Chains A and B, each alone.
Chain A
Amino acid sequence: MNGEFAPVRGRFWTTGVKVMLVFMFAGAIALLARFFGGLGYITNNNDAYPWGLWIGVNVAGGVGLAAGGFTTGAIAYVLNRKQFHLILRPALFTALLGYTFVIMALLTDLGRYWNMYSPMINWNFTSVLFAVAICVMISTTILYIECIPIVAERFIGNVNLPPGLRVFNTIIDRLLKFANNTIDKVMIIVVIVGIVFSCLHQSSLGALMLIAPSKVHPLWYTPILPLLFLMSAIAAAYPVVIFEHLLIEKSLDKKPRMDILTPMARFMPVLMGIYLVLKIGDMVSRETYVYLFDGTAQTNAFLVEVIFGVICPFVLVLFQKVRKSPGWLFFTSCLAIFGILINRINVFIVSYSPPYGGIYYPSIGEIIVTIGFISTLFFVYRLGVTNLPILAVDSEEKAV
């Protein structure tokens, strides 16, 4: 490999990975129960609470975390900055995995999952969810196109099929080269279309709950919710990239690439600051602060979200010491990721109170499936970076 990107070498089967395998297995069993017993068999959702953990975390949380990376990665092309280029591939790859898992998670939550093609034929332009569905589909397709070079670079001139299929080696090699070259030429357009659709579905995702004004708590029910969703997803982009870099480098015993991560962290306070100003400004202008200290579970969840998920990481990352230290930066990124996750959970689950009452809390089965999905995602990410040229390599390391 002669690029700046290379598969990472390191011990694959750590204890953590084995634990993940166990979670994946448990999740698969829980999913079997869902597909044979029905949604009601395994989830706590009911007529009062049609949506639960799977929509809040697996779908909305997943989209929020994945598209951020996607957008940042794409900005590398638009702004054409070298330092972005180094995170481009990991960001694209995370986004690709993220979206793939979001779609799989969505399929497990749809009652009539086999009818998934229906939105492609039956269009309802008044439906926010339709807008989200179409834009997510287009964005995912675009991500796959954008990731072709990663695979192409690994296999061009290297195609080595098992005996019996050898005849196809040259053909596949040619196909890869052709795909790679075509994409080269139109990449910039693909990337920009990707950004546009990404922004569209991030914001429309925020408009979903606006159809239910009587059910959503006023702390979250705001006409600018789409803008807040978009901004928080963009603000979560760097934390996600930093988080996964530090995590994979730690678990593969590599030196953290602080030369890339520290400059990236400088953008965090700006983006988080914009989000924070929007969020607080919205609260002040709609005068919803009157609810803040009434002590209900909902307002407490709001306080946790804003204080620990937005203000804390914002203040922390203002310090140079934090930006330079892998440990602190990891912690800060975790807080920011927690912030966007808890925000999605709050908007889709906590803020929701149906008129005739009832309570919802996720069932064990729902939690197991969610953990299973997250483990699988981490597992595939690890498989990816150890086998494909995704992460940037140190120049000294490359010389070895």
Chain B
Amino acid sequence: MMLSRRNFFKIMGGAGASLATITGNSHAGESAETFDSFGCLVDITRCIGCRKCEVACNAHNKLPHQDFNDMTVLDDYRRPDWEKYTVINRHHGYPVDDVDHNVHIYVKEQCRHCVKPSCASACVVGALTKKKNGPVVYDEKKCIGCRYCMVACPFQIPAYEDHNPVTPRVIKCTFCYDRIEQGKMPACATICPTQAMIFGKRDALLSIAKKRLKNNPGKYIDHIYGEYEVGGTSWLYLSPVEFSFFPELGNKPPPKLTEMILSGVFGYAAAPTSLFAILGAISWINNRKRSITLNEVSGREGEEK
């Protein structure tokens, strides 16, 4: 069976065009890249490690019951997990005061609600989304449980309900999205007795942080963690010591490269369509003299006509 040349091109052309429409709008989407969103500023020098923020978070988000009066948990390093959106960790042995005494510091851990979140860019189904006002929220209805968001997050934040056989969820801090929508502060920021974390617009928080750095020489190291890390995060930290307890990260948002590659490969379907055209041309040249059916392959018809 032989395809006439015109037919051949008609079919090739049609297939190429539909390929182009399938992949046509696949260039990288924009996520809400606004600096006008809400954030929190954590001042590590003010935190006394009372775990009240953990209590408030647990209550507001109806997480499994825990004993929050037990301060011995601070002896071990902890990560947020399937029953904790946030944890306080104690770090030892920082000689920070004048007489070289070792002082403890307490550091709160939770999702940083990145300005350009890797998790949201990575999620297959867009189950994680960056809201205009700051929070990165999770929709379990869309999630397929591939855990790519966990691979992507530079802060190792999303946790997984590994023990749940049927409906496991990705667990992470929601920035109390529901409360923020109602004009309230996140539960943890509301309860903090020392105002170690303050809630507000991200750029306002940044200027407060810079003022604190300027007015208290020697109290902090000159670094606002989260100002530039991975393109900026909604949660910002001031610390009396080097941020060695946090990962060292570049300033480029990690999704930049992958989104660039994706739009390079799929953008306007240019690459796939040209590959299709090239292959089509080669096969047309190679098949001109011969029939191109599988019957020929299986030897039912002669090799050459």
Chain A residues packing against B (C-beta within 8 Å): 2-5, 34-41, 43, 45-48, 50-51, 76-80, 82, 85, 88, 109-116, 118-119, 122-131, 133, 149, 153, 183-189, 192-193, 195-197, 199-200, 203-204, 207-215, 223, 226, 352, 354-356, 389
9 tightest CB-CB pairs across the interface, nearest first?
A: A111-B145, A40-B162, A3-B298, A355-B247, A50-B147, A50-B150, A112-B145, A122-B125, A124-B126
Residue B275 at the chain A interface, CB threshold 8 Å:
yes
Decide if B298 touches A38 in the complex (CB within 8 Å).
no
Candidates A43, A116, A389; contact of B144 at CB < 8 Å: A116
Interface mask (B1-41 → A, CB under 8 Å = 1, otherwise 0): 10100001001100100010000011111010000000000
> What's the nearest-Cβ distance from chain A to residue B273, in Å?
8
The answer to whether B148 has its CB under 8 Å from any CB of chain A is: yes
Whether B262 and A207, one on each chain, are in contact in the complex, defined by CB atoms closer than 8 angstroms, is yes
Which residue of B148, B156, B165, B294 is within 8 Å of A35 (Cβ)?
B165
**Chain A residues in 8 Å Cβ range of B154:** 212, 214-215, 355
Give chain A residues whose Cβ lies under 8 Å from the Cβ of B147. 45, 50-51, 111
In angstroms, how far is the closest chain B Cβ from the Cβ of A346? Answer: 15
Assuming the A-B contacts A80-B286, A110-B145, A389-B298, are A213 and B250 also in contact, with contact meaning beta carbons closer than 8 angstroms in the complex? Answer: yes
Whether B118 lies near A118 (C-beta < 8 A) is no
| A115 and B144 form a contact (CB under 8 A) | yes
With A and B bound together, what is the CA distance between A122 and B77 in angstroms? 38
Q: State the CA gap A196–B81 with chains docked (Å).
A: 41
CA distance A156 to B67 in the complex (A): 71
Binds A, one of B57-65, B197-205, B207-215, B253-261: B253-261
Nearest A-chain residue to B275, judged by Cβ: A196
Given contacts A129-B146, A215-B154, contact A2 B299 (CB under 8 A): yes
The smallest C-beta distance from B4 to any residue of chain A, in angstroms, reads 11
| A113 partner residues in chain B, CB cutoff 8 A | 144-145
- In the complex, A227→B79 CA distance in Å? 36
Which residue of B is nearest A206, CB measured? B261
Give the distance in Å from the alpha carbon of A114 to the alpha carbon of B168 in the complex.
11
What are the residues of chain A within 8 A of B125 when measuring CB–CB? 118-119, 122-124, 127, 130
Minimum Cβ distance to chain B for residue A191 (Å): 8
| Chain B residues positioned under 8 Å from A34 (CB to CB) | 165
Contacts A212-B152, A212-B154 known; 15 new A-B pairs at CB < 8 A: A39-B168, A48-B156, A77-B283, A110-B145, A111-B143, A112-B145, A113-B144, A125-B29, A127-B148, A128-B262, A184-B295, A211-B121, A211-B151, A354-B156, A355-B155
Of A118, A126, A196, A214, which one neighbours B31 at CB under 8 angstroms?
A126
Evaluate contact between A149 and B294: CB separation under 8 angstroms. yes
A46 and B292 in contact (CB under 8 A), knowing A122-B142, A125-B26, A189-B15? no
**Is B12 in contact with A50, judged by CB distance below 8 angstroms?**
no
Contact of A37 among B31, B165, B255 (CB under 8 A): B165
Compute how far the CA of A208 lies from the CA of B162 in the bound complex, rounded to whole angstroms: 22
Which residues of chain B are within 8 angstroms of A210 by Cβ–Cβ distance?
257-258, 261
Q: Is the CB of A122 within 8 A of B247?
A: no
Nearest-Cβ distance from residue A127 to partner chain B, whole angstroms: 5
Contacts of A79 in B (CB 8 A): 282-283, 286
CB of B188 closer than 8 Å to a CB of A: no
Nearest-Cβ distance from residue A344 to partner chain B, whole angstroms:
15
Please give me the residue from chain A that is nearest to B14 by CB atom: A189
Within the complex, the shortest CB–CB distance from A183 to chain B, in Å, comes to 8
Contacts of A204 in B (CB 8 A): 261-262, 265
Query: Is the C-beta of B279 less than 8 angstroms from some C-beta in chain A?
Result: yes
* Contact among A37, A50, A207 with B258 in the assembled complex (CB-CB below 8 Å): A207
Chain A residues in 8 Å Cβ range of B194: none
Which B-chain residue is minimally distant from A88 (CB atoms)?
B297
Within 8 Å by CB of B150, from A47, A133, A187, A197, lies A47
Q: Are A127 and B143 in contact (CB under 8 A)?
A: no
Interface residues on B, range: 35 or more
Whether B156 lies near A110 (C-beta < 8 A) is: no
Which residues from 245 to 299 on chain B have a C-beta closer than 8 Å to any C-beta of chain A? Answer: 247-250, 254-255, 257-259, 261-262, 265-266, 272, 275-276, 279-280, 282-283, 286-287, 290, 292-295, 297-299
Q: By the criterion CB–CB under 8 Å, are B275 and A118 in contact?
A: no
Knowing A80-B290, A355-B155, the reply to whether A129 touches B27 (Cβ < 8 A) is no
Choose among B1, B15, B161, B292 the residue that contacts A193 (Cβ–Cβ < 8 A): B15
Using CB atoms, name the residue of chain B closest to A209: B151
Residues of A within 8 A of B124 (CB): 118-119, 124, 127, 129-130, 133
The reply to whether B287 and A188 contact each other, CB–CB distance below 8 Å, is yes
Q: Does B164 contact A (CB under 8 A)?
A: yes
Report the minimal beta-carbon distance from B51 to chain A, rounded to whole angstroms. 20
In the bound complex, what is the Cα–Cα distance between A187 and B298 (angstroms)? 14
Cβ-defined contact, A131 with B280, below 8 A? no
Q: Separation in Å of the A129 CB from the closest CB of chain B?
A: 5
B residues in contact with A41, CB < 8 Å: 162-163, 165
Q: Which residue of chain A is the closest to B284 with respect to CB atoms? A: A188
A33 to chain B, nearest CB (A): 10
Q: Which chain A residues lie closer than 8 Å to B161 at the CB level?
A: 38, 111
Chain A residues positioned under 8 Å from B151 (CB to CB): 50-51, 208-209, 211-212, 215, 352
- Could you give, for residues 214-236 of chain B, a 1 whenever the CB lies within 8 Å of some chain A CB and a 0 otherwise? 00000000000000000000000
The answer to whether A196 and B19 touch across the interface, beta carbons within 8 angstroms, is yes
Query: Across the two chains, which residue of chain A brings its CB closest to B158?
Result: A47
Chain B residue numbers with a CB within 8 Å of A118 are: 124-125, 142-144
For residue B250, which residues in chain A have a CB less than 8 angstroms away from its CB? 213-214
With both beta carbons as reference points, the residue of chain B lying nearest to A107 in the complex is identified as B144
